Amino acid sequence: MSTTLTRAIVTADKEGRPRLLGRRGPDTPTRHGLKVRNRRETATGYTFLLPWMIGFLGLTLGPMIYSLYLAFTKYNLFTEPEFIGLDNFVRMFTEDPQYIQSVQITLVYVLIGTPIKLAAALAVAMLLNYRDRGSTFFRSSFYAPSLIGASVSVAIVWRAMFSTDGPVDNTLSFFGIEIGGWVGNVALVLPMMILLAVWQFGAPMVIFLAGLKQVPRELYEAAEVDGAGPIRKFRSVTFPMLSSVIFFNLLLELINAFQVFASAYIISNGSGGPAGMTNFYTVYLYKRGFADLQMGYAAAMAWVLVIVVAIIAAILFKTQKSWVHYAGDNR
């Protein structure tokens, strides 16, 4: 079930330890024997966990703490970090129009692109769920873009498709709409990037489809007997039954969308242009951190991103009580 992850997160979040964990062994001999056994279990457990622990401490937790420290410094990789207090953050929000623009376009991309992508995913999943036979081929075809969408090859194709007199322009001019290229157009390059995200609707669609297959048919039949039309059936049966899957998809897609990098970098040749309209948060972070070697500033940017993502996750978890239903929950 795709909801298991959400549940694991929810419960781990609330109680500090996941509910899904296996029960403790029931064999409880003497207190001393138990102690010895527990100690041996703990030793074995940490041996199994050793590679992960080294990775977690050395490549995740340690670096996180170090980058928190760097966020308050000026650092260029070659001289010692110089502590400058909150200067990086002040500079971000008051002295760096490029940063503000980068935040704006990233928010537009995330907050408009993700709902469209999920709506498309849900609509197509419902369409596929209409019939069982023959839908496997379509399911696979729709999923393919999700697998390759973040690759450099696809970014190159996308730029070609939306270039001046490219295939998209040609199709539109057939309907009398003249665009003249999306890639160089300040107003259209962001919609183009959103379309690239929406094109990858397959992954959430597959998850929705698995959720739809688990909605009991009787619920729809009961709703029909009560005279519910298709809209009412969606509102009163499909949506509540799928709400945990919607929550899961929304959380992951939002977080992923913030981290779009390769396609924007390739499409703009690393410039973030035209006029900064593809200068997404991570592209700008890369430029500041690795092209200009302003690593303290880039670390501060990264921490702002972590905080924003944490706030969005917190809001989603807070509001989920009012709209997310878990199967078997009578609340």
Partner 1 sequence: MSTSTSEIARPEFLEIELDQKPVERRRIKRKTINTIIWFVVLAALTAIVLYPLVWLFIATFKPSSEFGQNPGLIPDNPTIDNYFKVLEGIAGVPLWRFFANSTFIAVMAVIGTLFSSALAAYAFARVQFKGVGILFAAMIGTLLLPFHVVIIPQYIMFQKLELVDTYWPLILPKFLATEAFFVFLIVQFIRNIPRDMDEAARIDGAGHWRTFFSIILPLIKPALITSAIFTFIWTWNDFLGPLLYVNSPEQYPLPVALRLYNDQTSTSDYGATVAVSFLALLPILIFFIVFQRFLVDGVATQGLKG
- Could you tell me which residues are beta bridge partners of residue 74? 82
Given 82, 95, 165, 221, the residue binding partner 1 (CB under 8 A):
165
- Least distance CB 8 / partner 1 (angstroms): 6
Q: How many CB atoms lie within 10 A of CB 288?
A: 22
With contacts defined by CB under 8 A, name the span among 28-36, 85-93, 203-211, 215-223 that binds partner 1: 203-211
Please tell me what DSSP assigns to residue 94.
I
Q: Are 261 and 152 in contact (CB under 8 A)?
A: no
Residue of the chain from 92, 183, 250, 298 that contacts partner 1 (CB under 8 A) = 298
Could you say which residues in the range 135-154 bind partner 1, by CB under 8 A?
135, 138-154
Q: Are 302 and 68 in contact (CB under 8 A)?
A: no
For the window 259-288, what string marks contact with partner 1 as x by the rule CB under 8 A? x-xx--xx--x------------x--xx--
Measured distance CA(121)–CA(139) in Å, rounded: 11
Site for partner 1 in 238-257 (CB under 8 A): 248, 251-252, 255-256
Distance CA 324, CA 49 (A): 34
Q: How far is the CB of 108 from partner 1 (least distance, A)?
A: 18
Residues 122, 128, 237, 324: which binds partner 1 (CB under 8 A)?
Answer: 128
Q: Give the x/- contact pattern for partner 1 in 62-81, rule: CB under 8 A.
A: xxx-xx--x------x----
Using rule CB under 8 A, residue 323 touches partner 1: no
Task: Categorise residue 48: left if φ over 0, alpha if ψ from -120 to 50, beta otherwise.
Answer: alpha
- The answer for residues whose C-beta is within 8 angstroms of residue 315's C-beta and 6 or more apart is none
230 binds partner 1 (CB under 8 A): no
Quote the distance between the C-alpha of residue 202 and its chain's center. 14
Query: Interaction with partner 1 in 39-58: which residues (CB under 8 A)?
Result: 41-46, 48-56, 58
